[in-house]
């Protein structure tokens, strides 16, 4: 008996640990790993993944926003948590109260942290992000010296780390630009040193750079997608660590019917049966993270065979043509992402079919999808 809808995303925590240790072996034991668990650990479950990563010896976790860090603290996650997206000045108290380490690229946020730390007679750790060419957030490289001098005047701050982010480390045709960013970062480190700031941590490499650009491994690398077994559409075509898939998504046939040639299915009647067909309806839709762009071109695995998506993916349901798959019944397992028999569907496959990346696919499976973590 189902007490919940049978659409489930399973996170294999042993596979997560395998990927971490495989990456460590590939990168070299002298390279420390910062584990990125932002966006609910790329959709895999931030609290549970963080617990396992900490158990595997990860010293620093990273999230995007303060709210994600507070969620981890409330779940009992200890140790250093880095807020990659920084904080607004008004969030300084929450950051200090929860013993969090913000990444800073705005002087007003640094000043708010310094003022509050002074009032409590403490020193607050932070990292500083320099924009060496990503063009998103970060202290502009041209202003790095000025910013360093301003930070040096704030006596209640401890600059633990200096970091940057690569724009195109996944694209080897743009290797010159990645190396340009690495060189710029080295120059920025010198500018901060000239201001008396010599951080213990230098942090350049994301997952693609850590694999493809050994000179970017300067002591700490930020691993995100690699940890979750993603990378088939992210990592460049170079030697890379062995990875295992961490997420699988399954459901069941919720409704089964026969239709005649000429019958139409779904919104807009975009599919019209050309033959007598057996149609299975599966309780997963775009509100759950299964992209509407897979309408009439996605596939799911039923009894070890791929069944095409027919008609438009709707908010709560997706329709499959199972005419050529014998013995399908209501309750038959359906694999959305994962393997069954000799067939496999990856997040990368869904991404390729919809013109996006695997990260967006796994992040898309939201709260309506039940969660299972193994081993329990």
Other beta carbons within 10 Å of 118: 15
Give the start-to-end residue ranges of the domains of the chain: 13-228, 247-345
Distance, C-alpha 329 to centroid of its chain: 35
d(CA 94, CA 112): 12
Q: Which of 364, 329, 292 has the alpha carbon at shortest distance from 39?
A: 364
d(CA 134, CA 140): 10
Checking if the pLDDT of 30 tops 90, the result is no
Task: Return the SS3 of 60.
Answer: strand
Extract the tokens encoding 367: 């709260």
> Average pLDDT in the 207-236 region?
93
Checking if the pLDDT of 376 tops 90, the result is no
Catalytic residue among 257, 258, 267, 333: 267
pTM of the model: 0.95
CATH number for the domain whose boundaries are 247-345: 2.40.37.10
49, 250, 286, 361 from 39: Cα distances, Å = 12, 21, 18, 12
DSSP-derived secondary structure for 314-355: -SS-EEEE-TTSTT--TT-EEEEEEEETTEEE-HHHHHHHHT
Read off the pLDDT of residues 267-292 as tens digits, 9 standing for 90 and up: 999 999 999 999 999 999 999 999 99
Instruction: Write down the pLDDT at residue 231.
Output: 83
Sign, Cα dihedral of 350, 353, 354, 356:
positive
Catalytic residue among 38, 125, 129, 306: 38
Compute the radius of gyration of the chain from its Cα atoms. Answer: 24
Give the side-chain half-sphere CA count within 13 A for 8: 16
Read off the pLDDT of residues 312-335 as tens digits, 9 standing for 90 and up: 999 999 999 999 999 999 999 999
Reply yes or no on whether 306 is catalytic: no
Specify the residue for token string 């309806």: 281
- 356's CB contacts (< 8 A; 6+ apart) are 291
Reply yes or no on whether 276 is catalytic: no
Read off the pLDDT of residues 350-369 as tens digits, 9 standing for 90 and up: 999 999 999 999 999 999 99
Segment (H or E) for 250: strand 247-252
Read off the pLDDT of residues 164-180 as tens digits, 9 standing for 90 and up: 999 999 999 999 999 99
Checking if the pLDDT of 122 tops 70, the result is yes
Phi, psi of 222 (to 5 degrees): -95, 110
Checking if the pLDDT of 72 tops 90, the result is yes
Give the side-chain half-sphere CA count within 13 A for 153: 7
Extract the tokens encoding 141: 């490289």
Architecture of domain 13-228: Alpha-Beta Barrel (3.20)
Instruction: Write down the pLDDT at residue 1.
Output: 61
Mean pLDDT of the chain: 96
């Amino acid at each position: 008996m189902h007490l919940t809808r049978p659409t489930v995303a399973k996170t294999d925590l042993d596979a997560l640990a395998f990927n971490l240790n495989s990456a460590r072996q590939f990168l070299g034991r002298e390279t420390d790993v910062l584990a990125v668990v932002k966006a609910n650990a790329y959709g895999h479950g931030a609290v549970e993944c963080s617990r396992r990563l900490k158990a595997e010896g990860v010293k620093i976790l990273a999230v995007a926003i303060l709210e994600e860090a507070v969620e981890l603290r409330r779940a009992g996650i200890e140790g250093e948590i880095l807020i990659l997206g920084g904080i607004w000045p008004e969030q300084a108290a929450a950051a200090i109260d929860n013993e969090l380490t913000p990444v800073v690229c705005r002087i007003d946020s640094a000043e708010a942290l310094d003022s509050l730390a002074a009032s409590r007679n403490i020193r607050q750790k932070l990292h500083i992000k320099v924009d060496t060419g990503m063009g998103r957030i970060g202290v502009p490289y041209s202003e790095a010296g000025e910013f360093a001098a301003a930070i040096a005047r704030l006596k209640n701050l401890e600059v633990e780390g200096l970091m940057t982010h690569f724009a195109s480390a996944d694209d080897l045709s743009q290797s010159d630009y990645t190396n340009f960013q690495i060189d710029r970062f080295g120059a920025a480190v010198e500018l901060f040193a000239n201001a008396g700031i010599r951080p213990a941590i230098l942090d350049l490499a994301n997952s693609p750079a850590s694999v493809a650009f050994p000179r970017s491994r300067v002591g700490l690398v930020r691993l995100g997608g690699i940890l979750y077994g993603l990378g088939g559409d992210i990592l460049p075509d170079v030697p890379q660590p062995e990875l295992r898939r961490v997420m699988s998504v399954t459901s069941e046939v919720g409704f089964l019917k026969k239709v005649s040639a000429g019958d139409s299915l779904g919104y807009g009647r975009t599919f019209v049966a050309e033959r007598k067909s057996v149609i299975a309806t599966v309780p997963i839709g775009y509100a759950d993270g299964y992209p509407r762009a897979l309408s009439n071109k996605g596939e799911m695995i039923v009894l070890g065979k791929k069944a095409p998506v027919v008609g438009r993916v709707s908010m709560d349901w997706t329709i499959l043509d199972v005419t050529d798959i014998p013995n399908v019944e209501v309750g038959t397992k359906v694999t959305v992402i994962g393997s069954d028999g000799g067939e496999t569907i990856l997040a990368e496959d869904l991404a390729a079919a919809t013109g996006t990346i695997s990260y967006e696919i796994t992040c898309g499976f939201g709260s309506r999808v039940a969660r299972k973590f193994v081993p329990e």
